Chains A and B, each alone.
Chain A
Amino acid sequence: MTMLAVKDIDVYYGNIQALKGVTVTVEEGEIVTLIGANGAGKSTLLKTLSGLLKPKSGSIEFLGNSIAGKPAQGIVKSGISHVPEGRRVFANLTVEENLELGAFLRKDKKGIEADMKKVYDTFPRLLERRKQMSGTLSGGEQQMLAMGRAIMAKPKLLLLDEPSMGLAPLMVKTIFEVVKDINEQGTTILLVEQNANMALSVASRGYVIETGKVVLSGSADELQSSEEVRKAYLGGH
């Protein structure tokens, strides 16, 4: 079943067009990755999906309902959570308060408690630091917190923007294992990454974005073996 259908959207920052007729679909249960260079428009697409930006034209359907131009809070409510680039944890709040805010729109106290426990099981490091201000966490811990916070909203679709950015290789591995885990537990994932190798190793399909356009798409295997992708993004020969 198609979970997300983005059709032909144009997005602008003022007068500058950042996305040009982008079409992307995500099926339920998949991990789909968007790869591309800095400034290609990957983050712009995620921000449009989560309601921080509005498309000028085109349509976005999530589970059959149009969400293009809906305010961010409505989109969270319908089941999309966005882990933004650079984690953006609330540094002035404790780890636990950050997680509570992730569940801001939920009313089921018991369910929230259970999910909080699940997050702590997934990231034991966060449990150790739950009373600590999140600004004092390391980069990897902040990434865990940002992901945990998004999971607290109980999303059907998780948007991950550069989860590996600035992290040590070992931490990158941990994060990607968790990404796979979250997916296996039933959450569909749209993953933006510059680390294309890593991204294609967990994803089932991918899109390559260049200067605001989708230039290539296919299964992860196809992309991994494609000459252009290897040259431009995988550092191959």
Chain B
Amino acid sequence: MEIIQQILNGISVGSIYALIALGYTMVYGIIKLINFAHGDVFMLGAFIGFYAITQFQMNFFVALIFSMAITALIGVLIERIAYKRLRNATRIAALITAIGVSLLIEYGFIYIRGAQPEAYPDVFGRQSVSLFGATIDMKAVLILSVSVILMLLLQFIVHKTKTGKAMRAVSHDTEAAKLMGINVDNTISATFAIGSALAGAAGVIFGLYYTKIDPLMGVIPGLKAFVAAVLGGIGIIPGAMVGGLILGLVETFVSAIGFSLWRDAAAFIILILILIFRPSGIFGKNSREKV
């Protein structure tokens, strides 16, 4: 029953990528910016959760929600301070700014608290459940349930609420959205808030799963989540979910068949293949960009 265990591991890792990828894809969908600081918001989420549990003795789930609230705020601040004034600038200017924000968060954080890693509190111990003869780590079940709940919640927000409809409208046609009376600035802020909250949640469950966190931990998962978003079709929400899961499964199987050193490479090989053969991603329509 090794295979079921591997699949579940893959899905757990994949759902973390998916949660981060959602933020990339939502922000890209609405302002056409690859927010490279997104992986660092994920890192901050992990640390906020860590301090909430260790310093403030919060219950894991309270810490999770607390971390999501603070990262949502951080996401909005990043947008208002760094990206808003570049909305009419060239896309490369905004992209370079995003890289700058990323470095600022990473090294600013190291400057304040130092670069030493922390061990995440093992709040659930080594509990496990049996399923079809496979022993499944409680944490994997937890990660999976948290991710599924958050993704369902996101689907609800995007499709059923007024804010969600406004987000889709702005992402399709900003000017027409203004003509409906939609406040574009607030809608963009809401997008950053939701995307960053998902990254914050991913950070907390990442800490729980991998047990070690450090200020540069956002770099590789951030890049991989970006790959996941591109794989699914950047700007397409279900694409980010599927892309994340595929990436997690591929990585787990690459390790499982004995190429664990190639695990990280797998993600980037996928990126290269996607960019060559299907640049618009799995769910994307193959349309040439209008210039």
Contact = CB atoms under 8 A, between A and B. Distances in A.
A209 interface: no
A216 to B, nearest CB: 29
Contact of B169 (A52, A93, A150): A93
Contacts of A77: 181
A81 B179 contact: yes
A184 to B, nearest CB: 24
A171 B73 CA distance: 50
Interface residues of A, number: 26
Interface stretch (B112-120, B170-178, B247-255): B170-178
Contact of B180 (A51, A76, A91, A92): A76
Interface in A69-90: 71-73, 76-77, 81-82, 84, 88-90
Nearest to B186: A73
Interface stretch (B123-131, B160-168, B216-224, B265-273): B160-168
Given A90-B169, A93-B168, A101-B165, A84 B178 contact: no
A104 B175 contact: no
A220 to B, nearest CB: 27
Contact of A52 (B162, B171, B179, B180): B179
B78 interface: no
A104 B167 CA distance: 12
A91 to B, nearest CB: 6
B182 interface: yes
Contacts of A90: 168-169, 172-173, 176-177
Given A73-B181, A101-B166, A105-B181, 13 more contacts: A51-B178, A52-B175, A73-B178, A76-B179, A77-B181, A84-B176, A90-B168, A90-B176, A92-B172, A93-B168, A102-B180, A104-B182, A153-B181
B260 interface: no
Interface in B159-214: 162, 165-166, 168-169, 171-173, 175-183
A33 interface: no
Given A92-B168, A93-B168, A101 B182 contact: yes
Nearest to A152: B180
B162 A104 contact: yes
Nearest to A153: B181
A88 B168 contact: no
A28 interface: no
Give the interface residue-count category, chain B: 10 to 19
Most buried by A among B179, B180, B182, B183: B179
Contacts of B179: 50, 52, 72, 76, 81-82, 84, 88, 150
A52 B177 CA distance: 11
B4 to A, nearest CB: 37
Given A73-B183, A88-B173, A93 B178 contact: no
A61 interface: no
Contacts of B177: 90, 101
Nearest to A80: B179
A149 interface: yes
A8 interface: no
Nearest to A146: B176
Contacts of B173: 88, 90
A210 interface: no
Interface centre among A51, A81, A104 (most CB of B within 10 A): A104
Contacts of A27: none
Contacts of B165: 93, 97, 100-101
A101 B169 contact: yes
Contacts of B162: 104
Contacts of A81: 179
A86 to B, nearest CB: 10
A64 B168 CA distance: 35
A153 B177 CA distance: 13
Nearest to A101: B180
A15 to B, nearest CB: 16
19 contacts: A50-B179, A52-B178, A73-B178, A73-B183, A88-B176, A90-B168, A91-B172, A92-B172, A93-B169, A100-B165, A101-B165, A101-B166, A101-B169, A102-B180, A104-B166, A104-B180, A104-B182, A153-B180, A153-B181
